[in-house]
Structure 1
Amino acid sequence: MTTHFKIHQINITYVKSKYFTYPVSVVLSLFITTNLHAEQVFNPAFLSDGLSGSQISDLSKFENTTHQLPGIYRVEVSVNNEFMFTQDVNFIEKPDINDPTGLFPCFNLKTLEQFGININQYEELTIAGNSTCIDFLSIIEDSTSNFQFDKQKLSVTFPQISLKNQVRGYIPPEQWDNGISSLFTNYNLSGYNNSNDKSQSIFLGLDSGFNLGSWQFRNSSSFSYNSNKNSSSKSWTNLNTYAQKTLVPISSQLTIGDSSSNNDIFDSFSFRGVQLSSLDNIYPDSLQGYAPTVRGIAKTNAKVVIKQNGNIVQQVTVPPGPFTINDLNQTNTSGDLDITIEENDGTKQRYIIPYSTLPIFQREGRTKYNVIAGRFRSGHKFQENPTIVQSTLAHGLGGGFSIYSGTQLSDRYQSFLLGLGSNLGQYGAVSFDITHANSTLADNSTHDGQSVRFLYAKSLINTGTTFRLLGYRYSTRGFYTLNDTAYNKMSDSGSTNPSITDYYNLNNTKKGRFEANISHSFGKKYGSIYLSGNQQTFWGTKNKNTWFQAGYANSWNDFNFSLAASYVRSSEVDQSDTQFTANVSFPLDKLFSKAYRDKNQRSRSYVTASTNQGPHGNTSYNTSINGTLLEDRNLSYSLSQGYINDRDSNGSVSVGYQGGYGNVGASYSYDKDNNQFSYNASGSALVHANGITFGQVISDTAILVKVPGAKNIKIENYTGVKTDWRGYAIVPYASAYRQNRIALDTNSFGDNVEINNNVENVVPIQGAISRATFTANVGVRALVTLSKNGEFIPYASSVIETESSSQGFVADEGRVYLTGLPHKGTLNVTWGSDSNSSCSIPYDISEADLSQSIIQFELECE
């Protein structure tokens, strides 16, 4: 604080005594100005202790301890506490800015629009036009900027009134990355050798593709080889080939080639042709799936808190008057929404919106569609490939209703479906649809019929019971599906016992199907139970397909145990199969002392014991130990020993390794009749502009990490993934149209590696191979002593290496610590503003002992 004083008069009278002298009176008149200003100041003279003026560089720029130098910094930018991107931002000095660094971030009009600013609301922004550094703090009232220099994070806030009405989690298409042009191949190799019967089997699956701009081309194929004592066979199969492209303006995806339809409305089938469908994941999470619209009225500026199952799922502030919240994330399929409106005066309004949903439901105002034209594609030799056209449409109406419809057309089949779904509040969610179909079968007989389907879901939170799905479908005798009409043969005509070899008996069509999935929780202490099952009946036979399963699970003090029972009966085989299983597992670490567990935190081992009682009195027992090893827990192992009452003992040992170049595994198993060795390997090879990189299996969307020259750098949260000898790595899976945080593990940096920013964020489109690039200073760490004319370079002089941009400041006795130095280069040294206060020094340390962690050498300034 700077305070100005003016001394008017000081009168001091002293009185002496035998022991001391003391003032009798002090008259002090002070005038203190009302202009007060606080400022922290660092006096650089403290650094000159023992040094002459010629030994110290110009330190005036360091007088203010909080201000930073202007320039370009790579920072994480967040707007209103939501992360936006990581990129280089130009910072300039702004004297009146309310930021400790004294720096102002420069953004153009396009970036401000990306932040969600309603540009048309501010005439000054429109006038700014092509400016690369718009003073948004002066234009947008109540906006702020805070640069955390030590964390390289920039936080910008804008008042709600200045923003467009954007939904939560919205990422503008300008940030979407089409990815790099690349070619890749995934391989999956597996096989076994049986020493008893001399049999052998090898399987190789290949998934290949290349990306060109926003177009993606894919192919899947496989090779198999089987042999035994008497014969051998091999085959190569082309599974599918297709091209796909995201159509951003209509939020859809175009697929040309081999693909499969979804099963939202009709049964799924494979085809070769063209498909245009709406793309769900292109929307933010708050607009996907179904969630009810929350409406209410606020008396004041109020806080609206929305809870589901006791958890806050959204919290927003609304102005006085009616409000609508239509961007709730789809959370659980069931669970009532608890709405609380907290007013400024402390009063509260509270009400409940019952909530249940089914997969077909759409959010209010949202439309989902799918159009297919092509040829039916089947691997069955008894089926043909008719030309087909399919279209489906689902739309969300107000009041929790959804309507959906679809049609399937081919030469021998025409069907039309119409359905309606509704959230019935406290009574759950229900959907109902009816399908009419005209069919011509393989014997040229014509049929028409209807199929009615009913689905229900409900969660009873108070009781802990959840009806995940209850469904029933009834089809008349003349109703057939598209798949039925593709068969070119009808076997066992007139028989009541269908033939298993022909996959399906067209003389016994489906009649009724009931399915149920019910679970009940007794709380953490008492565990949970579940019931699942379905039953299919047929016209023309009393036989049924029945499947039922029930189970109980609980845990106690890290001990997990479960009981389950299952029942299966097929209409094609007149017998049933009933099984009972029991399972218990616990961490092996529990058998050791806490000191041992703390010392070996990287290893995790579990013991599992199970028993199974099958049909005809078959009973088996099995005990296994499995776990992970190594620092990254990417080495897994399993040892098991079992006994079957009619086949004696059996056992196995297996090991698997998840590495940067792929995954490998092997196992050995034995029983009374067989001794078998199995093996597997999987991975990928990615060809890109910078060469070829090997990694784990690439999923639909992936990321290439580029850290040139930095080898063995681990990628956080991706087991086994690390950069190769050139500094490249494949992150095998990523979320399309979402922020993917790629972070380098700083603990894996070598002694010769310095990386200024170890975090990148990318937003790939679906199917893209995006690239996350990091700048690494890879080179020597050195302690250099600098001098000129026999004297040390002045204290605090700036030193920059021209090629690598490695920089530092001179300490006492001319010493400077630099990292990432190339073996040869030039150092630029500056200690003042005039031309005589700088020099350049070439150096060559290629012959030095580079095995040392820090190289020390001296240089003379020219």
Structure 2
Amino acid sequence: GYAPEVTGIAKTNAKVAVSQQGRVLYETTVPSGPFRIQDLSSAVSGKLDVKIEEQDGSVQTFQVDTATIPYLTRPGQVQYKLASGRPSTYNHHIDGPLFTSGEFSWGITNGWSLYGGSILAGDYNSAAIGIGRDLYAWGALSADVTQSFAQLPDQAKKQGKSWRVSYSKRFDSTNSEITFAGYRFSERNFMSMGEYLDARYRDGSTGNNKELYTITASKGFENLRLSLYGSYSHQTYWNQSADDRYSLSANTYFDLGPFKSTSLMLSATRSQYEGTNDDVVYLSMSIPWGTASVSYTGQYNDKTYMQSASYYDRIDNNNNYRLSAGNSMGGVNGTSSQGSGYFTHHGDAAEMTANASYYQNNYTSFGLSLQGGVTATAKGAALHAGGGNGSTRLMVDTGKVSGVPVNNGRVHTNMFGLGVIADVGSFYRNTTSLDLTTMPDDIEANQSVVEASLTDGAIGYRKFSVVQGAKAMGILAMEDGRHPPFGSSVFSHEGREIAVVADDGQAWLTGLQAGETLDVKWDGQTQCQVTLPKKLDTMSSLLLPCQAIG
């Protein structure tokens, strides 16, 4: 279930786009400060381009190498992926040849896995072979080699190899982890498909990769309530200067008098691109304030120090907001005041974020973002918030009853009685429940909890036993004045048991529909029928004549 993680620091409310070879994989809006994107698809691998578009018009760009240990597969299993299509640009224009790609991973034994793959695209073709080894207490190690063949116009065919070694290890005894450490070397004539597309169809500005060193590590100190996180990547090229990216953050929490679990975070990032340094230092302190929190943040970048005080609160499970006010000092704008607001709504059909910012003598901006998806199966279709391409999801069915709240109201079923839980964990037992406390009065659940354990990328389906209709106390009487026997069952026209007759013909009836005919059964068969009034009065007991059958 590994998926790459993208971290960075936004100077303002910003839009973050993660792309690969010009194709946008993930796009979201983040508030100012550090962000961490952890919900990319586990199918993503390779080098990612990250673009941060700030509200003042400035743009940050950097790359993240997501090489990991993708080769380890359960013994005896084969995992494979196939894809075919044409590349597209940032502007969603088709640009490049038709290609077909595939890869597989085979679990030879419990410790060894074999990996292979290829890309076929006419004038560009490549093939890779690798092997992964589970070292058990010593982590996991893998190595692979890729051979590329590229034909550019008016040039000789280029052939080259690229070697890679990857290592991963978690040290439970010391609460630390090397999530990835690796090395890659590419020959001068080796070309990835991204480099080929750039050289063939664009301006050829992408560097010709040579060596890549990358490491990501974390360490926790439970006694000190402190955690450290760091990453480093060093990319050299055959035809341009090297790029470096360093990131280090420290998080701690403590009790500040009556304020429990006050948190303090310090992070710093340096990106070196073509000999130019882009440094960002960020400091944040957050104090719980009832159900809300207040915080102070300071950020230094490009000789400018920005500071602000913020108030964050949750309106309910689906809505939260943050208000900030502060100023900036230094830089070309001198001292300026600023303010911003950020609102997030988790809806049934989409996740919405709205933001606004004011920067004295500089800019005023507004932003709105909607993100969601649609899941269509043989059982039906439903719009939903969240859920990346191929993510694990659970479709819930409430039997054509709409507006049923699920998982504390995070999802409500649509007009067809369907809803989709998009944040389901793979390979774990997931419990999904109806929210009985906020369920409308005319809806009743005979079954309110379901469980599902889904494989990665699966779409599960679970059905709840839910009825909708009026509720009323009824007194059932037959033509001769007698009542149906104690313990008789009352069934709806759909064959669903809705009540059991008590003393003197009394029955608590649920899920009633005006004008509906009910069956009353005892001795194993229907003995009489009740026809409900076309206008139900649920405030008083209903006297319901039961007409004998036959």
Q: TM-score scaled by structure 2?
A: 0.72
SS in 2 for 1:703: strand
1:639 to 284, 306, 323: 323
Aligned to 2:133: 422
- Superposition RMSD on alpha carbons, in Å? 4.3
Structural mapping, 1:307-706, within 5 Å: 358-371=69-82, 375=86, 378=89, 385-398=96-109, 400-487=111-198, 502=203, 504-505=205-206, 509-541=208-240, 543-557=241-255, 558-571=261-274, 574-589=275-290, 604-615=291-302, 617-630=303-316, 633-645=317-329, 646-660=334-348, 662-672=350-360, 673-681=362-370, 696=385, 700=390, 701=393, 703=395, 705-706=397-398
Q: Which structure: larger Rg? A: 1
Query: Aligned in 2, Cα 1:686/1:861: closer, same or farther, shift over 3 Å?
Result: same
CA distance in 2, matches of 1:739, 1:529: 31
Deviation at 1:620, TM superposition (A): 0.7
Give the residue type in structure 2 aligned to 1:806: I
Which structure has more relative contact order (CA 8 Å, sep 6+)? It is 1
Deviation at 1:802, TM superposition (A): 5.7
CA distance in 2, matches of 1:856, 1:479: 83
Query: Aligned in 2, Cα 1:267/1:773: closer, same or farther, shift over 3 Å?
Result: same
Give the residue type in structure 2 aligned to 1:555: Y
Query: Aligned in 2, Cα 1:575/1:690: closer, same or farther, shift over 3 Å?
Result: closer
Deviation at 1:538, TM superposition (A): 1.7
Per-residue Cα deviation, 1:516-559 (whole angstroms, up to 9, x for no partner): 11222222424122220111112244x21111011211112311
Contact map agreement 1:622 1:642 (CA 8 A) in 2 = yes
Query: Aligned in 2, Cα 1:361/1:702: closer, same or farther, shift over 3 Å?
Result: closer
Contact map agreement 2:148 2:161 (CA 8 A) in 1 = yes
Query: Aligned in 2, Cα 1:514/1:383: closer, same or farther, shift over 3 Å?
Result: farther
Identity between Structure 1 and Structure 2 (%): 21
| More strand per residue | 2
Aligned to 1:778: 469
SS in 2 for 1:746: coil
Query: Aligned in 2, Cα 1:770/1:405: closer, same or farther, shift over 3 Å?
Result: closer
| More helix per residue | 1
Deviation at 1:612, TM superposition (A): 0.9
Query: Aligned in 2, Cα 1:376/1:685: closer, same or farther, shift over 3 Å?
Result: closer
CA distance in 2, matches of 1:475, 1:374: 26
Contact map agreement 1:383 1:487 (CA 8 A) in 2 = no
1:809 to 501, 506, 518: 501
Q: Which moved more, 1:515-524 or 1:575-584?
A: 515-524
Contact map agreement 2:348 2:384 (CA 8 A) in 1 = yes
1:758 aligns with 2:459: no
CA distance in 1, matches of 2:417, 2:326: 44
Aligned to 1:744: 434
Per-residue Cα deviation, 1:241-281 (whole angstroms, up to 9, x for no partner): xxxxxxxxxxxxxxxxxxx99665x7699xxxxxxxxxxxx
Give the residue type in structure 2 aligned to 1:803: H
SS in 2 for 1:806: strand
Contact map agreement 1:786 1:815 (CA 8 A) in 2 = no
Query: Aligned in 2, Cα 1:772/1:402: closer, same or farther, shift over 3 Å?
Result: same
Deviation at 1:684, TM superposition (A): 6.4
Aligned to 2:14: none
Structure 2 residue runs without a partner (length 5+): 1-23, 26-40, 50-67, 256-260
Per-residue Cα deviation, 1:398-434 (whole angstroms, up to 9, x for no partner): 4723333344445434444333332345544322333
Contact map agreement 2:249 2:266 (CA 8 A) in 1 = yes
1:819 aligns with 2:510: yes
Contact map agreement 2:271 2:277 (CA 8 A) in 1 = yes
Query: Aligned in 2, Cα 1:575/1:823: closer, same or farther, shift over 3 Å?
Result: closer
Give the residue type in structure 1 aligned to 2:188: R
SS in 2 for 1:502: coil
Deviation at 1:808, TM superposition (A): 2.0
Query: Aligned in 2, Cα 1:801/1:773: closer, same or farther, shift over 3 Å?
Result: closer
Q: TM-score scaled by structure 1?
A: 0.48
SS in 2 for 1:459: strand
Aligned to 1:133: none
Contact map agreement 2:165 2:183 (CA 8 A) in 1 = yes
Structure 1 residue runs without a partner (length 5+): 1-219, 222-259, 270-356, 491-500, 590-603
Deviation at 1:461, TM superposition (A): 4.0
Query: Aligned in 2, Cα 1:786/1:423: closer, same or farther, shift over 3 Å?
Result: closer
